[in-house]
Chain A
Amino acid sequence: MSGVRLLVGTKKGAFVMTSDGKREKWEISGPHFGGWEIYHVKGSPVDPNRVYASQSSGWFGQVIQRSSDGGKTWEPVGNKFVYDGTPGTHQWYDGTPHPWEFKRVWHLEPSLSDPDTVYAGVEDAAIFRTTDGGQNWEELSGLRGHGSGPRWMPGAGGMCLHTILLDQNVPGRMFIAISAAGAFRTDDGGKSWKPINQGLNSKFLPDPTAEIGHCVHRIAMHKSRPGVLYMQKHWDVMRSDNSGDSWQEVSGNLPTDFGFVIDVHAHEPETIYVVPIKSDSEHYPLDGKLSVYRSRTGGNEWEQLTKGLPQRDCYVNVLRDAMAVDSLDKCGVYFGTTGGQVYCSADAGDSWSAVVQNLPSVLSVEVQTLP
């Protein structure tokens, strides 16, 4: 029987959770790298036992860990992330120039075809790539070289490149998102990049429809429809039908369209999920009721999903890398909270149960569907 493996990054270590296809009983191992912040853990799509983890600390900096046995054992690999050339400055919170400084890796995206090739999204925002399993990292400096870098600014979590989507249908095409610069696309494997923010509207900007400066929280894509992108922005849930060239709002009847995560059903490319959060100044669910919202129409029409989720006194957040879907039938949906819970739905969101209740604050959740 097939099964799943959850890779969970928290403020105080990584956890690996496995279950069979029923997704009812879980074995949990960890903490791995106890006491360190684990921003992201992700496995290779071509070799699921090859897993990479971003381990960081304000004291000791960045470490990258690699596993060749699905997260049972780990070895540290290269941690040298050096910007190409003179990094220059970006905007600080008050608009003054601030030097570019590497802080940590937010997101690791293994290649769709080579387990030794991985892309890393970092703070201060840039994208790096390794082609030797993490030993050496090289910046794809065309992104910062786009010329708009001096106008990028940090969001509340820092100026992070947090989303990397690889397009399996168009060779060389990738999408990335930066808080707070916006979304960008490359069609040549990362040599050159184009901002794709037309249609976004951000009231915190002097020009709300500016080409650069939007606080994009997350982008999601279904592999069968790579031209269709979904975005959870700081405020607003957005959709693009032309690979990001333009966006339209699909918040529809959501009770609040602020949030961090967004993901797409594994088998239904028009079914998407968000977790609405009250506001940018109150990062918790409305009325203390934790809800996932699902749209089966690619946005605009949303249904509230609450079965099995706490419906009183719940004031957690769900961070941008903390939702994932498996590819079993029925599709499993997972998310982790800043309160240390990881929830699983084995029926595409209709009902939920806690995989674990008392972890450190969850930073990221990924899932691997195992044969």
Chain B
Amino acid sequence: MSHLSERPAAPVVGRTLPHESASLHVSGAALYTDDLVGRTAGVLHAHPVQSPHAHARVTGLRLDKALEVPGVVRVLTAADVPGVNDAGVRHDEPLFPTEVMFHGHAVCWVLAETLEAARLGAAAVEVDYEPLPSLVTVREAIEAESFQGAQPVMVRGDVAAGLDRATRVFSGEIEFPGQEHFYLETHASIAQLDENGQVFIQSSTQHPSETQEIVAHVLGVPSHAVTVQCLRMGGGFGGKEMQPHGFAAVAALGAALTGRPVRLRLNRTQDITMTGKRHGFHASWRVGFDDEGRLQALDATLTSDGGWSLDLSEPVLARALCHVDNAYWIPDICIHGRIAKTNKTSQTAFRGFGGPQGMLVIEDILGRCAPRLGIDPAELRRRNFYTEGQTTPYGQEVRHPERMELTWQAVLDQADLAARSAAIAEFNRTHDDVKRGLALTPVKFGISFNLTAFNQAGALVHVYKDGSVLINHGGTEMGQGLHTKMLQVAATTLGVSLDRIRLAPTRTDKVPNTSATAASSGADLNGGAIKNACEQITQRLAEVAAARLGVPAASIRFRDGMALSSDPQEGNHADPAEPHGISWEDLVVAAYFERVQLFAAGYYRTEGLHWDSTIFQGHPFKYFAYGAAAAEVEVDGYTGAYRTRRVDIVHDVGDSLSPLIDIGQIEGGFVQGAGWLTLEDLRWDESDGPTRGRLATQAASTYKLPSFSEMPADFRVSLLEHAHEEGVVYGSKAVGEPPLMLAFSVREALRQAAAAFGAPGTSVHLDSPATPEAVYWAIEQARAGGDTSVIEHAADHASRPAVPRDGHRVDGHGNGRDGASVDGTGAGHASATRAHAIPTDLERGAYPATPPAQVKR
């Protein structure tokens, strides 16, 4: 067992504890960024002027009338930017654009004494627009060959040979939309000036260091002049990984120019119309199976809808490609990826980060092909699981493939699947107007940022003379319970009780150069760093204790608020009844007087990772998280309305650091995934009318999140037992993202229930999201004989390409950035801002000036 994963006796990790802020949450005492407004004097409020066009040139901007509105103090425009007018890391996101790229794009920002005055001021700003042609759907972009960024290809083996070898070959398409994060707390920043022009920004950000970097380059100051703090977020889900930076920069710019605190909080309409979402995808595919249903080959092209700027689209696409296999061995495979450039919000990170989109492609394929193959869908899935010694298409050995089989079997047992399947068959036989479906789906999800460099973290641990401990780390708290776990890690390592430890808010002046709290990696990375810091301290304290106790320092253990000369439970102490030790408090005081350093900066980096994005090969993930879900639904044949009757989940979180937190992540992730797949319906105006490109579902009243009515009536979640993960902090595994993809079970159950309205063996295509309307049409399709959109190919023509590839085949990758200007939109901007950007890039260092198809995560 590795030192990192080994747990001491009676650890605080592994205990079932409520969220560390639960008592503040329930009493309304927990503070979020915008709660600080009333606690800050002299605040100015910011309000955007938003574009009414999907794509237009700004030909005139007149502020006079806005400045006449009582209470308006200033209007921020491009001319006010002392540094770089850009809010992104790829320099394709002008903060104050001269060409608006989507409906709702902010042209400029009004600062006023009240929010009402700022709103009225914004309404009084006069903007002249010259409308330009726009691309709103991913299909329009494909048609126009409007792509941006890298076009990677992931290849293993010979897909043509694989398709030729296959005895059953099918092709089809799927298109599915994105998802709005709908964190309950919208984006918020408050910026104020410290002495000497330094800026202090409180921001609802998952990535304080990058917020800091963007603010610094907009203001044209070094990073050390900008401090970003995040108290906590009211939900993030990836939506605050990249998107907060520009808003923080506007607030900071306002503060720098006026000398007053500036608050920028988006209301829901602004948030949903201005910020990026999960990427929708289009996929066309050709798949081959052998007679037993074993996957032989997959040839597919995945096109993500990136929106107007690159943002995180490249790494999202990379993760989609890396998860198109999900849990299945596909010997010969060729997946092309590309990013459509459309006139929409800049699509971004969202829990799963492309993984769900990649997996949806293969799960949809299996769900549609199983009836054609005459194989039960669950059996088809299981038959294709990875086994020991096999590798992913990108060349990483699949470690612990037996855990997939274990979780699957555990779900079969827990869900009493055989008996219930029989009961459902009987129910369906005796009911004409209502049908049930029960589906199982697996998840295998890679943990680590694809980009190796991001897999590092820092922490700062202080022990004060009274023995109390203050910890700081680079991760942010957005509800996922990271801080709870970090407190448990610190208490375990220091051997003190939780009430001795406090965790301070995340700040860039405490821990620098942090990675985003993202990729499910928060606990792995920051936990490693905190453990390292605590161990530096205990090693020093052990010397002090050892001298006092007259034993070797190596024999000192820290537990229960004591430094003990050895662990009594190990039985090697002379008299177990009388532990030979010194209390934590006494030891700390003694160490102080002996001039022993009582604080430490911890550091962690994940070992053993490598990734070459140019050839799409490597070992990008530390390990895989496994899970399986069984969902039962009931569908009404009159309306397509449905209910999720029961869900069983078995998920692999390693040895859980904090079971209540982990189960909460699994349940919450599952319901959020089910929301994406069944309910949440992003509708953009695709017409040629005056509101083309406008998001039609831009409010909670029209964009429906799961509510109590979507919670499975019977919801049973278990953690996989004996799941110790070697080489990860206290044997645990990441949990934030993987459970979201367990929700494929709901979609597949709906497909099966809809198919039950047709003859046995009917295959149906189910639109995504599977709203009652979509399910109703699937039922009608089943009644009419089933899906005709999947084509079966005669074996001798099997290897013909599934789709035209628009001329960029295997050489598609690597020509990344230049692709961004392929449609001409924004090209002028990009070059103008890039010229400014180069010195900042070098200064910031984190991003090479001209990265070859840079891939994050």
A and B held together in a complex = no
